[in-house]
Amino acid sequence: MNAPLTPRPRDVEIDQLDRLDELVAGGAKSMHGWHFQSVDLRGRSEVLVSLHAPGAIFMGCRFATGVEDLLRSRGALIFPALPHVPFNAYRGRLYSGAELFDGIRGGEYERVPDARIYQWSLQTGPALHSTLASAIHDHAITDALDEFLSRRQAPVVGVMGGHAAARGSEQFAQAARLGRALTRAGFFVATGGGPGAMEAANLGAYLSAYDAGTLDRALLTLAAVPSFRPSVTEWARAAFDVVDAHPDGAASLGIPTWFYGHEPPNVFASSIAKYFTNALREAILLQRSRGGIVFLPGAAGTVQEVFQDACENYYAADGAISPMVLVGRKYWEVEVPVMPLLKTLAQGRAMEDFVFIVDTVEEACEVLGSHHG
């Protein structure tokens, strides 16, 4: 499986009324172990009152007058909606690019939800209410991500690389070809969800449903706006032009963070798990990429990810080690000599047979394919 066994078998998560109706129609009498997330329950008062309440948890839900107090008096645990925050801390699903960039067609990036949430995170600081809201949000995102991945059969392969790879560059095109090749080979691509190589890999995955010429044309379109600087607005609009022209793209995942909120998320990831806490986001991305990780050339952030992944593999039990594939011999052996140290660490360990260095994205796909063949 791609995700841990969460929620626990006896827990039932309800983020839509249809799920509640299904359980009631099936004869449920008790809400013990039911976790409601951001559900408008004002139209289900009679049902809620008829069910046993002890052990039920309600997070950010809406109730008809008097029902909330009644449920609480009967033993339900109710977390109220958090006021004055520009996001739903109890959300039960992942984000999409359309949601985070809502309004970008008619306005500037600074007014879309993604930017407003980032500004909130900067302005509130370490205040108790903001810390709680952020922590609850990140827990909800992790829960939604694991549920999302549990429904996917394809091995999740992470693609790591620098945010500085500009549209129109060979590095960007290489990452896009990698995303396309991995998806067409039956893998599910996950990235850090930001610009640069991350955007390119998500782009390649998205357009893998189309012929190779479509990707080439999209790369030319995007090259007209090489970077999110100086205008995130123009950068995002160029991406949406590609999405609008090709609406039937393949799925992939982005896991960005508001910690680096000055770097916007890319819209080519069909599902986006965006976090406030970067350390949690990094750990989640590496841990969920159980099909292996491909490391494209990058700077300090990518190097950190290499050794964070290496640490997990170093101490992992047999059978729990995932392949590490570094692309670019000259880069990883000479310019940023990570590979010699990595080989030294791996020597004599179970992970030794899972560390690879190649020169092309095609070779990277072959390596991963041989491990999952």
Specify the amino acid at residue 84: H
pLDDT at 1: 42
pLDDT at 126: 73
3-state DSSP assignment of residue 239: helix
Residue 216 CA to residue 222 CA, distance in Å, equals: 10
H helical segments located in the chain: 17-25, 45-50, 67-73, 97-100, 113-124, 128-150, 170-184, 197-206, 212-223, 232-245, 278-288, 300-315, 329-330, 338-346, 361-372
Q: List per-residue pLDDT tens for the chain, 373 residues long.
A: 444 444 444 689 999 999 999 999 999 999 999 999 999 999 999 999 999 999 999 999 999 999 999 999 999 999 988 888 999 999 989 999 999 999 999 999 999 999 999 999 999 877 788 899 999 999 999 999 999 999 999 999 999 998 889 999 999 999 999 999 999 999 999 999 999 999 999 999 999 999 999 999 999 999 999 999 999 999 999 999 999 999 999 999 999 999 999 999 999 999 999 999 999 999 999 999 999 999 999 999 899 999 999 999 999 988 899 999 999 999 999 999 999 999 999 999 999 999 999 999 999 999 999 988 6
Helices (H) and strands (E) in the chain, counts: 15, 11
Question: Please, which residues have CB within 8 angstroms of residue 303's CB and are 6 or more apart in sequence?
Answer: 336, 338
Residue 266 CA to residue 193 CA, distance in Å, equals: 6
Do residues 242 and 218 make contact, with C-beta atoms less than 8 angstroms apart?
yes
Burial status of residue 264 (CB atoms within 10 A of its CB: 0-12, 13-18, 19 or more): buried
Burial status of residue 347 (CB atoms within 10 A of its CB: 0-12, 13-18, 19 or more): exposed
Q: CA nearest 254: which of 196, 296, 185, 215?
A: 196
Question: Please, which residues have CB within 8 angstroms of residue 47's CB and are 6 or more apart in sequence?
Answer: 20, 24
Whole-prediction pTM: 0.92
Do residues 42 and 62 make contact, with C-beta atoms less than 8 angstroms apart?
yes
Q: Which domains does the chain have, with CATH numbers?
A: 1-81 (no CATH), 153-372 (3.40.50.450)
Angle between helices 170-184 and 361-372 (to 10 degrees): 20
Q: CA nearest 322: which of 342, 294, 298, 343?
A: 294
pLDDT at 3: 44
Residue 306 CA to residue 316 CA, distance in Å, equals: 15
Rounded-to-5 percentages of helix, strand, coil across the chain: 50, 10, 40
String of DSSP letters for 278-289: HHHHHHHHHHH-
pLDDT at 125: 72
